[in-house]
Amino acid sequence: MSLIHATGEVARAKIVARVTTGRMMPAMSCFDHLVVNQFLATEIDARALKSAFELGLVNWLQDRGATLLPELSHELGLNSVGLGALAGMLETNAVLVRSGDMVELTHEFTRALAFRDLLHTRIDFADCVWPDIHELFTPLLNDVQQFMARSRIFELFRYDRCFDVTPQNLEATRLWTRFTTCLTKYESAAVIAAVEMGNVETLIDLGGNTGEFALRICERLPRIRATVVDLPVVCELGREHIAGSAPLSQTSRIDFHPSDIRSGDLPTPADLVSFKSVLHDWPDRDAKLLIERAHSIVRPGGRIMIFERAPLDLRERRVTYAMAPDLVFLHFLRPPELYLEALAALGFVSIDYQRIELEIGFHLIVARRPA
């Protein structure tokens, strides 16, 4: 854990710092989904796995258990040489275990299949950014403006296409909200476990995307009513997503408020106001402005919550294929000090900082507005 050097305003705010790590707490269910990452270490691991899904191999072995390779080849209509190569790669990656010609899924991979949507999302998101890493690695490291101008990933995340609700903008935006929604489904569990929300009745999630974070919170805490603020196209997709994902008892507690969080109107103050993976998108000045705007809608005595990816520490871990999307946002991930100092300067108190280790480190900051 990188210790916060509590100085100046930040020191006066009495920050409490601690660390929570998925790797050290395997029994906690909010970290169980991390099992998928071990099968996505290299591109070829991801290719083999995606093909195993596409060819029906995973479903077959999940449904019917251990099967002889010749039988698999016959039943699924698979080329026997290709199947042999695929089985070899899957065995090396601990997806399969093999005895003679008999193959079956490993116990660990069967565990990972409980998070099948996340496996697919991680593969598809990494596939989406991999051409940028392949073609533009030097600009990624050394000339971020050039990287942004030429990369496909920044063409995908085009917030300027989220203002006018048109069929084209809805389709373009759906391509990336699919990724953010699935990642948030799993990331939110660690936040919900780490933050006491028992006395929260109203939540505003700023840049709340398709409402997935709000939905997960509402699922766990039946007293909460949530308002998701995001751009109009994203809110439109969010209404659709929420209506299709939860019973009316939960969906009716989530409202969408289409607005520009920099300058548009914001909902009336709430007990808890959150930014999840939003502030890193913005330069320092805008990030501070957004925190100021959030301050204005935290009711006196209420709290603000910030959950953000921390800078990558690549001395600690080898970059895996699954981490490709984190790598392309390398320059945008900041240490927590800017957030902590901005909160202290606005008069927030009881500023609590935790570092949460998921597939990479995250900052979780919660602070109270004095009553």
Amino acid at 356: I
Locate tokens 């008999």: which residue?
102
Contact positions toward ligand SAM, by CB under 6 A? 159, 162, 180, 184, 207-209, 213, 230-231, 234, 260-262, 276-278, 281
Minimum distance of ligand SAM from residue 259's CB (angstroms):
6
Comparing CB distances to ligand SAM, the nearer of 72 and 162 is 162
Amino acid at 72: L
Q: Which residue is nearest to ligand SAM (CB)?
A: 207
Comparing CB distances to ligand SAM, the nearer of 41 and 144 is 144
Comparing CB distances to ligand SAM, the nearer of 93 and 209 is 209
* Residues 321 and 45 sit within 8 Å (Cβ to Cβ): yes
Comparing CB distances to ligand SAM, the nearer of 72 and 305 is 305
Comparing CB distances to ligand SAM, the nearer of 74 and 262 is 262
Comparing CB distances to ligand SAM, the nearer of 91 and 124 is 124
- From CA 273, how far away is CA 271, in angstroms rounded? 7
Minimum distance of ligand SAM from residue 359's CB (angstroms):
14
Minimum distance of ligand SAM from residue 358's CB (angstroms):
12
3-state SS string over the chain? CCCCCCCHHHHHCCCEEEEEECCCCCCCHHHHHHHHHHHCCCHHHHHHHHHHHHCCHHHHHHHHCCEEHHHHHHHHCCCHHHHHHHHHHHHHCCCEEEECCEEEECHHHHHHHHHHHHHHHHHHHHHHHHHHHHHCHHHHHHCHHHHHHHCCHHHHCCHHHHCCCCHHHHHHHHHHHHHHHHHHHHHHHHHHHHCCCCCCCEEEEECCCCCHHHHHHHHHCCCCEEEEEECHHHHHHHHHHHHHHCCHHHHCCEEEEECCCCCCCCCCCEEEEEEECCHHHCCHHHHHHHHHHHHCCEEEEEEEEEEEECCCCCCCCCCCHHHHHHHHCHHHCCCCHHHHHHHHHCCCEEEEEEEEECCCEEEEEEEECCC
Minimum distance of ligand SAM from residue 208's CB (angstroms):
5
Minimum distance of ligand SAM from residue 213's CB (angstroms):
6
Token pair for 234: 């994203």
- From CA 203, how far away is CA 195, in angstroms rounded? 13
Minimum distance of ligand SAM from residue 263's CB (angstroms):
8
Minimum distance of ligand SAM from residue 136's CB (angstroms):
20
Comparing CB distances to ligand SAM, the nearer of 184 and 320 is 184
Given the DSSP bridges, would you call strands 361-368 and 349-357 parallel, antiparallel or unpaired?
antiparallel
Comparing CB distances to ligand SAM, the nearer of 54 and 265 is 265
Minimum distance of ligand SAM from residue 270's CB (angstroms):
16
Minimum distance of ligand SAM from residue 104's CB (angstroms):
36
Minimum distance of ligand SAM from residue 200's CB (angstroms):
18
Comparing CB distances to ligand SAM, the nearer of 78 and 261 is 261
Comparing CB distances to ligand SAM, the nearer of 169 and 180 is 180
